Amino acid sequence: MNNQNLAIKIKDLRNRKGFSQEQLSEASKLSIRTIQRIEKGASIPRGDTLIKLTRALGVTPDDLLEWTDIEDKGYLILLNLSAI
């Protein structure tokens, strides 16, 4: 999944939940700047950030990401490392 697709999906999920960026920031315990950068496609959430976002939005990483073989390995490694 590229940055823009992920950014659109996160923003859409946030809007469906009725959250402002500030409310998502509070619910996820991420800075509002991080939320803004992710929604602009300037940054890709990885590891712990991805987990915090999905929990705050009430979805799983599978719901958020469109998995491909190449991306699977990278995200799975990051998710595993964030659990350490």
pLDDT in tens, the chain (84 residues): 577 888 999 999 999 999 999 999 999 999 999 999 999 999 988 889 999 999 999 998 888 876 554 455 555 566 665 555
- SS in 3 state form for 29-55? CCCHHHHHHHHHCCCCCCHHHHHHHHH
Q: Whole-angstrom Cα distance, residue 63 to residue 82?
A: 19
pLDDT for res 69 = 46
Q: Whole-angstrom Cα distance, residue 43 to residue 76?
A: 18
CA 1 to chain centroid = 12
Q: What residue ranges do the domains of the chain occupy?
A: 3-82
CATH superfamily label, 3-82: lambda repressor-like DNA-binding domains (1.10.260.40)
